[in-house]
Structure 1
Amino acid sequence: MTTPRDLIITALERAAEHAVEPGDLSLALAAAEAVDLLAAGAVALDGGLLVPGGHREITDPLLAEAASALVRRPPYETPGAWLWRRGRGLTDGYLTGLEAEGEAVRERHRNWLVRHTRTVLTESAARRRAADRLAADEPVLAALTKALGLRGGPEADAAPGVTDPAAARVLATLDDALAELAAERLRRSRRQADAAAENVRRGY
């Protein structure tokens, strides 16, 4: 298992209590990929840039895809650039992967007004491993779930710190990216509210 898979399983597990925006989750998945690639030696953080390392064999298909997506020629890219580029639509990719492996299914629901689907986890070894890792307060997964608001109160305060400097840098960059995305959502909401108020003022 990989950190991104454990993260999306955890997000689905806690969706009823705290739904995560797909954009936020995509950024966090890209950060999780970067941390796993750093741990595997497939990339290194050099002077603030993600520099590809040796060609290590990576068996997980989505993490192998992430490794192949690294910028392999100078000037390389920063962790922030990686998050925004790699993270685009990444949630859908991981959901598709879980469904293909039978670790999640889409359930269809319908009421008198709307029809919708949701992704539900199946009972699997992957689900149990993710739960065990979360319960053990593994530092990287703890930091990722805290960034997404999946850990709150005393649970978040008790989360252990990440000691690897490169991983900590990636996770700090994730915090900045999530804050930037939240600010953009707020600006968009205010523009929509202002436009609606202007329409009311004009009599529309």
Structure 2
Amino acid sequence: MTAANTTTAKDLFIIAMDTGPDHAVGQGDLSLALAGAELIDLLGSGSVTVDGDRVVPGQAPAPDDRLLREAAALLTRQPPYEPVEDWLWRRGRELAAAYRDALEAEGGLTRAGGDRSLFGTRRVEPADTPARRRATERRAEGEPVLTALGAAVGIDDGESAGADADEAGGGEAGLLPPALGDESVTAVVAAVHDAVMELEAVRQRRTIENAAFANVWRGP
């Protein structure tokens, strides 16, 4: 795999895989963030725009990447178009698994020791490729988009993003660094954070419900 065919979503997947088992990223959280990363790349190519909270198809073709083309093909092309957060949930379904398969097919992932993995029965890890080095460099440099998306799923606990926000005179640590600049990109990152928080709320609610159900069966 070469740096030429990397995308923000692939970079995000690589750094998520590089976090190690002690800081593993959940598949659902990562899938939502990957959908956001795709949308940001489509914004950059002119394939979409964001009008308010709606994803509006643009005039430019999708970038030359299979998964980005698939994402562009799923766009709602009739008004009133689709809210950003709805797009994240729809496109994000099983997206982490799709990126694992794509990167493995491109040679970006290699078999690792052990047999447990969040992303399948066979444990894999990023291979030593130009794409991995590029993703690692973006992370080390605190590149704003990758930092903000990583913070949404708990990578580095948002330390770099929070530092940027503090230096700029505001912002909650781990959320939206002002260096993002573009309003549309900021809107997408904010929607990713909201969706991940909603997913966590669903998890907590299910945990409470399951515990209550178990208590009923156990009895007093």
More displaced, 70-79 or 91-100? 70-79
Matched, 1:170 2:188: yes
Of structures 1 and 2, the larger Rg is shown by 1
* Amino-acid identity (%): 45
User: Which letter maps to 1:25?
Assistant: L
How big is each residue's C-alpha offset from its partner over 1:75-123, in whole Å with a ceiling of 9 and x where there is no partner? 2101011000000000010000010011103447359xxxx53221111
Counterpart in the other structure of 1:40: 45
TM-score (norm 1): 0.91
Rounded Cα–Cα distance in structure 2 between residues aligned with 1:93 and 1:79: 21
Counterpart selection for 2:147 from 142, 147, 156: 142
Structure 2 residue matching 1:73: 3-state secondary structure: coil
CA contact (8 A) 1:108 1:117 kept: no
- Report how far residue 125 of structure 1 moved: 0.7
Counterpart in the other structure of 2:103: 98
After the TM superposition, which segments of 4 or more aligned residues of structure 1 sit over 4 Å from their partners? none
Q: Within 5 Å, give how 1:41-190 maps onto structure 2.
A: 41-107=46-112, 109=114, 116-152=121-157, 154-159=159-164, 160-161=177-178, 162-190=180-208
Rounded Cα–Cα distance in structure 1 between residues aligned with 2:115 and 2:154: 29
Could you tell me which runs of 5 or more consecutive residues in structure 1 were left unpaired when the two chains were aligned.
none
Counterpart in the other structure of 2:216: 198
Structure 2 residue matching 1:131: 3-state secondary structure: helix
How big is each residue's C-alpha offset from its partner over 1:113-151, in whole Å with a ceiling of 9 and x where there is no partner? xxx532211111110000011111111001011111112
Structure 2 residue matching 1:17: 3-state secondary structure: helix
- Report how far residue 33 of structure 1 moved: 0.6
Higher RCO by CA contacts (8 Å cutoff, separation 6 or greater): 1
Counterpart in the other structure of 2:172: none
User: Which letter maps to 1:93?
Assistant: A
User: Which letter maps to 2:181?
Assistant: T
How big is each residue's C-alpha offset from its partner over 1:11-43, in whole Å with a ceiling of 9 and x where there is no partner? 001133311110000000000011111111000
Change (3 A) 1:157 1:164: same
Change (3 A) 1:143 1:153: closer
More displaced, 154-163 or 179-188? 154-163
Aligned length: 198
Rounded Cα–Cα distance in structure 2 between residues aligned with 1:153 and 1:81: 24
Rounded Cα–Cα distance in structure 2 between residues aligned with 1:37 and 1:189: 36
How big is each residue's C-alpha offset from its partner over 1:147-192, in whole Å with a ceiling of 9 and x where there is no partner? 1111237434224431100010011111111111000000100111
How big is each residue's C-alpha offset from its partner over 1:50-92, in whole Å with a ceiling of 9 and x where there is no partner? 1100132511111111111111122210101100000000001
Change (3 A) 1:153 1:178: closer
